[in-house]
Structures are given as C-alpha cells and as structure tokens.
C-alpha cells in the first residue's frame, strides 16, 4: 500500500488554513463539529518565551479554537485546561488532546503531568535535566467531560490509566488514542515506556491497549506485550473504526518501516488487541504541497488525527513545524489540515490492505 493509494495523489493544502499563534508554540490538534455547526479544534500551546522542546512538558495547556471551514483558519476562543497546582496529577501541564463525543457529552482525552519544582522559567527549562525526567515519568492519561463544547469542563482528580509494575508500561502512560463506541465503551491505544535495565533512563517508546465499558472507566490494559513488539519504534498513534475494523495511523520515528523519518505508517485490527502493521507502508509524508503550488518538506508532521465524514476519512490534522527535522529544532509550529482525495478513500476493496 503506497502513500498515494491511501491519501490520494491530490492533497493540496490551503495556504492560510490550519491553526497558529504568533506568541505561542502550538501542537497536537483534534477537531469535532459542535452543536453550533462550527469546527472546534482542541490543541496544546505554551509561550514562546520557553523553548519548543522541552518547554512543552513544563508549560503546555489545552485550548479550543474554531473555524467555519474544516481547513481553517482557526481562531483561538478559550483555554480549556490549564495549570491547577502541583498537588494534582495533571496540575502542571496538559497536552495530547483528543476530542470525542458520546450522545450529549463531549469527552476530552489528554495527558497530564506534575512536578515539585518552582519556579520553572525560560532560563531553567532548556535541557533534558532532572526536572524534565520527573515531568516525563509523571505523565498519565485522563479525561475531562462537558455537556457543551463551550464547557464548563469537569476535570477529575485521578487519571484513567495507571502504570503497571512488572509490565512493559511500568514508567508512564501518554498519547491517548481512543475510539468511543456507540454504547459508551472505549478502545484506547496509548504510548508508554519501561524503566531501562541497560543504558539510559528508559526504553524506546511502546504502544499498549486498554478497554473500558464506559469512557469514565475503569480502564483495563488488555495486552501483556507491546504492539508490534520487536518492530522499529513508532509513536503518536491515532485510531478509528471503519468497515468493521479498527484502523491506526502512527509516526515512524526512524523511517525504518516506511522509508521516511517522521512519516506515517498504518495498521489494522479486528478486535483492537491484535494489530497487523502494513509492511513498508507510508500513509503520509512530511513533504506536502500547498494550493499555491509550493512544495515543502516539513520538519515534523506529528500527532496525526483523522477526521471522519460519514464514517470515512476526509481530512488529516497534523502538528507541524519548520526546520531540518525534529521538534527540538523548530522555529515555528502550527496545526496543518490536509484534505484527503475522495478517490483514494474509495479505492481499496480489500480491507486487509486499506486503512
């Protein structure tokens, strides 16, 4: 399955669309249609007074922006989740927003962290030192809920997914990729790491799976080995259900799977626990074309989010940056919205190959 077969040869991106802020870094990006008929984008942001990396782990908050058209441009409306005190599990920083809805309730899945250091300033948060390590290992997944897209949001005092001693997810849980079923139950793919028994502090990134009968939990991890165990490192999973199967897109960290570093790879599953990775697949590239004809190779295209219309992918959201590659070397970040060519979404009849 080639990149063109899945996403389509024509994927011109409107210049001036998406979401950016002049005085903040922005990342993540997850959209939903509200009761007002507008597109509501949930993203993370933190001040440009801090470095892009690792500033996000210390100062990120989740905001909501709106647009009349799905491609944008999106305009900031409000801060949804912000810092609330070191005593809370998510009291210092929140990020990895993924918005879903069940009946009359909006459900915001996210990652939060806390740390006991004060104050965190632009001057003392520029390296991956002990403060960075503490903030990383305290990452956990939680949910916030609201009956209106405008809030108020109910925020809970406990995360939904703890770590598991003696398992591969014993260090942290983050990057939630949920699918909420019609009955309110949830399949959740998440990122994790283990404490390292060798060099370094922790192992490479791994993916796990959890389930819950209700989106508020309790959640139960359902696999004892990471997905794609022994395969090359991937992160930033995003899942949805289509055609009787679960589908996944994720970020190829090294390019060993799809041939391009930081590009997208795909997988599918019948039950949500056993996943088949499409060999050598590339479902999106960092090289994009704008509707003015300009071709650009982005420094990153992370945190993919697939927007569905009538149950089929119509747009791909991505956290993007300029620079030579790697978000630590970016000078600008923004959320890009890529229209997907309709003919590519209809092309495959064999669902074992199509995502």
**pLDDT tens sequence across 159-188:** 999 999 999 999 999 999 999 999 999 999
Q: What is the pLDDT of residue 252?
A: 92
Which two three-digit tokens encode residue 39? 């597109």
Is the separation of the CB atoms in 319 and 311 below 8 Å?
no
What whole-number distance in Å separates Cα of residue 102 and Cα of residue 324? Answer: 40
Q: Phi and psi (nearest 5°) for 146?
A: -155, 150
* DSSP element (H, E) containing 344: helix 342-346
Kindly list the domain boundaries of the chain, sorted by start residue. 3-345
Q: What is the pLDDT of residue 280?
A: 63
Which two three-digit tokens encode residue 1? 């399955």
Residue 16 has pLDDT above 60, yes or no: yes
At 342, is the pLDDT very low, low, confident or very high (cuts 50, 70, 90)?
Answer: low
**pLDDT tens sequence across 25-47:** 999 999 999 999 999 999 999 99
Residue 229 has pLDDT above 90, yes or no: no
C-alpha distances (whole Å) from 139 to each of 33, 48, 188, 272, 277 are 29, 22, 16, 24, 27
- Look at residues 81, 99, 96 and name the one whose alpha carbon lies nearest to residue 28: 96
Which two three-digit tokens encode residue 21? 């802020």
Q: What is the pLDDT of residue 221?
A: 97
pTM for the structure as a whole: 0.94
Query: Percentage of residues in the chain with pLDDT exceeding 90?
Result: 82
Q: What is the mean pLDDT of residues 232-236?
A: 89
What whole-number distance in Å separates Cα of residue 309 and Cα of residue 298? Answer: 26
Residue 58 has pLDDT above 70, yes or no: yes
Q: What is the pLDDT of residue 306?
A: 96
Which value, in Å, is the radius of gyration of the alpha carbons in the chain? 19
Residue 325 has pLDDT above 90, yes or no: no
- 144 or 277, which is more confident? 144
CATH class of 3-345: mainly beta
Length of the chain: 355
Share the mean pLDDT of the chain: 91
> Among 13-22, 113-122, 197-206, which stretch is predicted with the lowest mean pLDDT?
197-206
Contacts of 175 (CB under 8 A, 6+ apart): 96, 111, 190, 191, 235, 236, 237
Which two three-digit tokens encode residue 219? 């959640």
Residue 101 has pLDDT above 60, yes or no: yes
- 259 or 218, which is more confident? 218
Max CA separation in the chain (angstroms): 56
Residue 8 has pLDDT above 90, yes or no: no
Residue 355 has pLDDT above 50, yes or no: no
Which residues does residue 254 pair with via DSSP β-bridges, in sequence order? none
Q: What is the pLDDT of residue 279?
A: 65
Residue 9 has pLDDT above 80, yes or no: no
């Amino acid at each position: 399955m080639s990149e063109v077969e899945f996403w389509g040869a024509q994927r011109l991106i409107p210049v001036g669309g998406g979401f950016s802020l002049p005085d903040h870094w922005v990342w993540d990006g997850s959209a939903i249609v509200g009761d007002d008929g507008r597109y509501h984008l949930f993203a993370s942001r933190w001040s440009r007074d801090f470095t892009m990396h690792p500033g996000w782990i210390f100062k990120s908050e989740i905001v909501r922006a709106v647009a009349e058209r799905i491609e944008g441009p999106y305009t900031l409306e409000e801060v949804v989740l912000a810092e609330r005190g070191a005593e809370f599990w998510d009291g210092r920083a929140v990020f990895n927003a993924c918005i879903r809805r069940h009946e009359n309730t909006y459900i915001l899945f996210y990652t939060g962290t806390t740390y006991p250091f004060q104050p965190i300033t632009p001057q003392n948060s520029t390296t991956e030192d002990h403060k960075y390590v503490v903030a990383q290992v305290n990452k956990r997944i939680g949910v916030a809920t609201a009956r209106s897209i405008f809030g108020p949001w109910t925020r809970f005092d406990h995360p939904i997914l703890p770590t598991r001693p003696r398992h591969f997810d014993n260090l942290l849980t983050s990057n939630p990729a949920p699918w909420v079923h019609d009955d309110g139950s949830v399949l959740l793919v998440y990122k994790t790491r283990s404490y390292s028994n060798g060099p370094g502090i922790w192992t490479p990134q791994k993916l796990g799976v959890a389930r819950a009968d209700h989106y508020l939990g309790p959640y139960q991890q359902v696999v004892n080995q990471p997905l794609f165990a022994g395969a090359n490192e991937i992160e930033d999973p995003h899942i949805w259900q289509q055609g009787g199967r679960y589908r996944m897109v994720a970020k190829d960290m090294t390019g060993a799977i799809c041939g391009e570093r930081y590009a997208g790879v795909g997988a599918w599953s019948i039950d949500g626990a056993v996943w088949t990775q499409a060999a050598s697949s590339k479902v999106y590239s960092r090289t994009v074309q704008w509707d003015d004809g300009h071709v650009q190779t982005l420094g990153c295209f992370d945190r993919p989010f697939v927007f569905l219309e009538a149950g089929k992918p119509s747009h791909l959201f991505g956290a993007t940056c300029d620079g030579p590659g790697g978000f630590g070397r970016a000078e600008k970040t923004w959320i890009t919205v890529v229209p997907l060519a309709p003919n590519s979404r209809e092309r495959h009849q064999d669902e074992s190959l199509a995502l």
